[in-house]
């Protein structure tokens, strides 16, 4: 894996595109991403449905979460993002909302010049299934 050489200028929010209530952990996504040919999990942080923040890829290493932006961004994902029939939906639990807000605020303190974005701003996807830029505009 390559370490960052550029300054972090973006914090990009994702969802795992899994049905509401189906919990995953960083170890699960690591296994899935390796099956797809990644070295390890592509996200730097994962917020589980109970609001736990799990470390994914070490934050000093370039992520694999947003094509064209990985070399300057931190990737954060929450577990969920779809209904049972796989339609995009903001499925965040209250615990996830609190944990995600706290994590994004901490990342903004760590990377004060970074802007906050939803993955959908850079890819033709609904991910993260809520307006991350608007939700975190005051951070």
The residue ranges of the chain whose pLDDT is under 70 are: none
Instruction: Please choose, from the candidates 19, 67, 74, the residue with its C-alpha nearest in 3D space to the C-alpha of residue 46.
Output: 74
Dihedral of alpha carbons 112, 129, 52, 72, sign: negative
Contact 103, 53 (CB under 8 A): yes
Per-residue confidence (pLDDT) for residue 5, from 0 to 100: 84
Instruction: Check residue 121 and report its DSSP letter.
Output: G
Supply the residues annotated as catalytic: 14, 43, 119, 125, 127
pLDDT of residue 110: 96
For each of the domains in the chain, give its residue range(s) and CATH number, in order of start. 10-135 (3.40.80.10)
**Lookup result for tokens 């990377």:** 111
pLDDT digits (tens, 9 = 90+) for 53-79: 999 999 999 999 999 999 999 999 999
């Amino acid at each position: 894996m390559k370490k960052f050489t550029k300054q972090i200028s973006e914090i990009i929010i994702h969802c795992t595109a899994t049905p509401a209530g189906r919990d995953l952990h960083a170890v699960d996504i690591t296994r899935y991403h390796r099956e797809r040919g990644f070295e390890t999990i592509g996200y730097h942080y994962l917020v589980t449905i109970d609001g736990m923040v799990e470390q994914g890829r070490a934050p000093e290493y370039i992520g694999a979460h947003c094509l064209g932006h990985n070399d300057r961004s931190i990737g954060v994902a929450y577990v969920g993002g779809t209904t049972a029939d796989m339609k995009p939906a903001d499925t965040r639990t209250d615990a996830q909302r609190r944990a995600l807000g706290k994590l994004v605020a901490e990342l903004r303190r760590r990377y004060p010049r970074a802007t906050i974005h939803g993955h959908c701003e850079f890819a033709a996807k609904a991910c993260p299934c809520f307006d991350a830029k608007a939700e975190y505009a005051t951070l």
